[in-house]
Amino acid sequence: MADAARARKLADRIQQIVAEMLERRIKDPRLGFVTVTDTRVTADLREATVFYTVFGSEAERADSAAALESAKGILRSEVGRQTGVRFAPTLAFKHDPLPDSARHLDDLINAARARDAEVARQAQGAAYAGEADPYRKPDEDEDESA
């Protein structure tokens, strides 16, 4: 078992190598605009999971996934060559849902802001239903007699 710091360093290096290879050397026409977002390596340094996002539609995402699967061998051999580890880790590519989740949360926040602005606009000319200060106060007469 390797320590966690070594696994993190290897994961960072694998992320750099894969991103560079996708940008410069992999010429698959199915490969869309792919961004490598994260890489995680198991404690025994045998398996690496590469998280990626694809800018585009669902069809482009599926095409890019197929292109990454077909280029897996080339990428693994290059990772082994550039890292110098005894056993090159097997690569697994997984679509990263985080940007989609973040986009959905941004949409929800914007909708909430719009509703808050509508409520504030409606409340501009409103008056209190009762008195402006709804709290009871002790009578002033009682304070003077005490």
pLDDT in tens, 98-120: 777 888 899 999 999 999 999 98
Using alpha carbons, list the distances in angstroms from residue 23 to 32, 74, 137, 143. 11, 14, 73, 81
Give the helix, strand, coil percentages of the chain, each rounded to 5: 55, 15, 30
pLDDT for position 133: 77
pTM score, whole prediction: 0.68
Q: Residue 124: inside a domain, yes or no?
A: no
Please tell me the distance from the alpha carbon of residue 84 to that of residue 10, in angstroms, as a whole number: 10
Q: Any idea what the CATH number is for the domain that residue 39 is in?
A: 3.30.300.20
**Per the domain annotation, does 85 fall within a domain?**
yes
107 domain-assigned? no
**Bigger pLDDT: 54 or 143?**
54
Does residue 18 form part of some domain? yes
Residue 46 lies in domain:
4-100
Answer whether residue 52 is part of any domain: yes
Distances (CA, A) of 30 to 11, 36, 53, 92, 127: 26, 16, 14, 18, 62
Say what the alpha-carbon torsion angle 57, 59, 64, 67 is, to the nearest 10 degrees.
-170
Over residues 13-25, mean pLDDT: 90
Q: Does any domain span residue 21?
A: yes
131 within some domain: no
Q: Is 62 helix (H, G, I), strand (E, B) or coil?
A: helix
Domain count, the chain: 1
* Confidence class for position 8, pLDDT limits 50, 70, 90: very high
Mean pLDDT of 59-83: 90
Q: Is residue 28 part of a domain?
A: yes
